[in-house]
Amino acid sequence: MSKRFKRDLLPKSKLLKKKKKYIQNAHQQLGLGSKFVASVSEALHEDDVIHVRKMVEGLSEYGLAKLIETLSHSERTKLVQILGDKINPDVFPELNDVVQEQVIESLQEKQIVKIANELDSDEVVEILEHMDEEEQESIIKKLDPELQYQVQSSLSYPEDSAGRIMSREFVGMPDWWTVKEAKEFLLKNQELPEEFYDIFLTDEKFRPSGHIALDKLLRAKPTEYLFDIMDGEIVPIDVLTDQEEVAHMFREYGWRSAMVVDNKDHLIGVITIDDVVEVIHEEVSEDIMHLSGTEEGDVYRSVFSVFKSRVMWLITNLVATILAASVVKGFQEVIAQISVLAVLMPIVASMGGTTGNQTLAVVVRALATKELNSANTLRMIIKEFLVGLSNGLLFALLIGVITHIWFPDYQFMSLIIAIAMLITLVIASLSGILVPLTLNRFKVDPAVSSGVFLIAITDCGGFFVFLGLAKMFLL
């Protein structure tokens, strides 16, 4: 019987009740209003357990996760304790990594085990990888045997590798089966994943040979063999491949899912597009944050934790600034005699820093997406040099005219600052590409360290060129 006919047979009172519940759930899932969050927060402070449970009862897994993230550290801990074993395990994969770690720390070991046994292996790995080895081992020993094996295997692979993000819950079949056998397997097997769209095929040695989309299988004739209708164009991913490279492969090939193989080319897991979306979000956020010395989870961390993570960046930045100040210190006598220099020199340094950061942003992204490689590196360097030269000529002219209007008594000042601007912008453009390329060559993440080196080069270079020219021509 269709859903429509079933609905028509329901009494009117039940229809209204279902409609009311649907509207209420939809309202809660569309977004958490400030009044709702404030009400939950107030109930938590008043230890009104019954009221708290009623308010969060209708929230989806995603909605409850967003509520937990919105609350303060103490409030989210209290909420999770109140919900106890009734909290849906599917909430935990939806949480931000920092919040997830904080919440897990507030739970007892038996609660963590119960939650883990309800999740997929890759989701359990996400939870356990933040713990120390003793905690990991203690929890893994208490997991269901099959899940225990899957989690142990995944944790044995390097962090940020394909082995960590792959899922071991997939549908695999021998490629010599018929369509009829495949359909019977799908109908009778009670342990299939909740959602799947592709069926992965292997040969007699369990090596991947192809895959079939579920809709294609349903349309095929029962007597056809799977190897006759499969898509045989596959590129298996090695289990040790870095997750950034995995994301690049998905983008390059337009995959929805991909097979992961071990060192014997045996199929051991799959990576799906939703896993890759998470990786892309994580890597992009990480690179953006690293460029400014911050971390993605700073919104949820304590004051002291954020202070610790940022202080080293600031100290490094202070060293770069002191270097620039040392350059200026060497020209104290020149500045003392020509005070106009103190007004103009920040302009040169600032323009150099901005130009360098523009190039840096483009290059770091190009390195991350594999758009910049050995084949086009030289062309990119020449291109950035020409861009820096073009910008330098334009802004040299502009600042020269402005300086002449501001300080008409200093005949050579406009020429000096124009030349300094040109040289500084060329240096900045080249630094913006050469610094991240050099760091990348030495296997150092350019997103983490490039900014500090760039500041030192553009500030020191800008001050030295401008003040040096001034000393040469004006004294």
Q: What is the pLDDT of residues 284-297, one digit of tens each?
A: 777 767 766 767 67
pLDDT of residue 32: 67
Handedness of CA 109, 115, 118, 120 (dihedral sign): negative
**Bridge partners, residue 143, by sequence:** none
The string over 70-103, giving b where at least 16 C-beta atoms fall within 10 Å of a residue's C-beta and e elsewhere, is bbeeebbbbbbebbeeebebbbbbbbbebbbbbb
- Better-predicted residue by pLDDT, 164 or 301: 164
Any idea what DSSP says for residue 60?
Answer: -
Q: How far is CA 382 from CA 147, 199, 434, in A?
A: 54, 48, 11
Task: Please determine, for residue 354, whether its predicted confidence score (pLDDT) is greater than 60.
Answer: yes
Q: Which residues contact 53 (CB under 8 A, 6 or more apart)?
A: 82, 83, 86
**Binning pLDDT at 50, 70 and 90, where does residue 325 land?**
very high
Question: DSSP for 443-456?
Answer: T--HHHHHHHHHHH
Q: Which residues contact 417 (CB under 8 A, 6 or more apart)?
A: 344, 347, 348, 399, 400, 403, 466
Residue 28 pLDDT greater than 80, yes or no: no
The amino acid present at 467, given as its one-letter code, is: L
Q: Which residues of 341-376 are buried (b: 16+ CB within 10 A; e: fewer)?
A: beebbebbbebbbebbbbbbbbbbebbbbeebeeee
Question: What integer pLDDT is reported at residue 400 of this predicted model?
Answer: 95
What predicted TM-score, i.e. pTM, was given to this entire model?
0.69
In this prediction, residue 143 carries a pLDDT of: 94
With pLDDT > 70 as the criterion, what percentage of the chain qualifies?
91
* pLDDT band per the 50, 70, 90 thresholds, residue 344: very high
Question: What pLDDT digit, counting tens, does each position of 44-98 carry?
Answer: 999 898 899 888 888 888 889 999 998 988 898 899 889 887 888 999 988 988 8
Q: What are the angstrom distances between the C-alpha of 441 and each of 214, 391, 434, 438?
A: 43, 28, 10, 5
Neighbours of 41 (CB within 10 A): 18
Reported as type and span, the H/E element at residue 270 is: strand 267-272
- Spell out the residues 6+ positions from residue 399 whose beta carbon is closer than 8 angstroms to its own: 347, 414, 417, 418, 421
Q: Which residue reads 């104290």 in tokens?
A: 332
Q: Is the pLDDT of residue 12 over 50?
A: no
**DSSP per-residue letters across 161-212:** BHHHH-BS---EEETTSBHHHHHHHHHH-S---SS--EEEEE-TTS-EEEEE
Angle between helices 133-141 and 121-128 (to 10 degrees): 150
Amino acid 386 reads: L
For residue 59, give both structure tokens: 């929230």
| Lowest-pLDDT choice from 25-39, 98-112, 306-320, 416-430 | 25-39
Tokens of 238: 């090695």
Q: What is the pLDDT of residue 324?
A: 92
197: phi then psi, degrees, rounded to nearest 5: -125, -20
How is 300-322 classified by DSSP, letter by letter?
TS-HHHHHHHHHHHHHHHHHHHH
d(CA 82, CA 72): 15
Tokens of 370: 């594999």
Phi, psi dihedral angles at 230 (to 5 degrees): -75, 160
Percent of the chain scoring above 90 in pLDDT: 51
Query: Per-residue pLDDT averaged across 188-197, rounded?
Result: 84
Cα–Cα distance between 258 and 237 in angstroms, integer? Answer: 7
Query: Residue 30 pLDDT > 70, yes or no?
Result: no
Are 150 and 197 within 8 A, CB to CB? Answer: no
Average pLDDT, the chain: 86
* pLDDT computed for residue 292 by the predictor: 67
Q: How confident is the model at residue 35 (pLDDT cuts 50, 70, 90)?
A: confident
Please name the residue that has the structure tokens 């002291």: 304
Band of residue 29 on the pLDDT scale cut at 50, 70, 90: very low
Buried b (16+ CB within 10 A) or exposed e, 377-400: eeebbeebeebbeebbeebbeebb
- Who's near 277: CB < 8 A, 6+ residues apart? none
Q: What is the mean pLDDT of residues 215-244?
A: 91
Is a pLDDT exceeding 80 seen at residue 8?
no
Quote the pLDDT of residue 197. Answer: 82
pLDDT at 317: 86
pLDDT at 171: 93
Structure tokens belonging to residue 104: 């897990």
CA separation for the pair 211, 260 (Å, rounded): 13
pLDDT(25) > 50? no
